[in-house]
Amino acid sequence: MILCPNCGAEVDENANFCPGCGSPVNPISSSFLITTTPSLPGYRIKRVLGVVTGITPRTRGVLGKFIAGFQSMFGGEITAFTEELEKARNEAIEKLKDKALAIGANAIVGLDLETSDLGLQAGVIVVSATGTAVIVEPE
C-alpha cells in the first residue's frame, strides 16, 4: 500500500488513482521523456519507432452528474468534470507511454492531446494522446 499525495489515504500499489479523492498516485515516470515539441533539447533522436496513441473514454456516474448539475446552477468551474478530465488525460498519456515502451522507446516527441464528445447524449468524453515514439540519447 502507498499513500495518496493529496489526501493521505491508503492506495493499492498498482492503482493509478486514489479511490478517495481521484488524484493520480502513480505519476508518469520522469525517466521516460514526453514532450509536445518535435525535439528534446540536450538529446539527439537516435531512432524514430513510429506513431503511438493512447485513448480513454470516460463518463461521470449518476452522483457525479448530479453534483455537476448542481454546480452548474451557480456558474464557475464544475469540479466534478475537471477531476474526470484530469483522470482521462493521465490515463491516455499512461496508455501512450505503455505502447511506446512496448516497442522499445525511451521518449515521445510531438505529444498531442485531443478531447471530444461521442455525441451519444450519454455524457461520454474521449481523450486521445498521440505522439511519436523515439529512442533518444544525450548529446
pLDDT of residue 22: 67
pLDDT of residue 107: 94
pTM recorded for the entire structure: 0.67
Question: Given a cut of 60, is residue 8 above it in pLDDT?
Answer: yes
pLDDT of residue 84: 78
Higher pLDDT pick, 23 / 55: 55
pLDDT of residue 30: 47
pLDDT tens-digit map of 69-122: 555 556 566 666 777 788 889 999 999 999 999 999 999 999 999 988 876 666
β-strand partners of 61: none
- What does residue 101 show for φ and ψ, rounded to 5 degrees? -60, -40
DSSP secondary structure, 113-132, as one string: EEEEE--SSS--EEEEEEEE
pLDDT tens-digit map of 38-53: 999 889 999 999 999 9
Pairing of strands 125-138, 33-34: unpaired
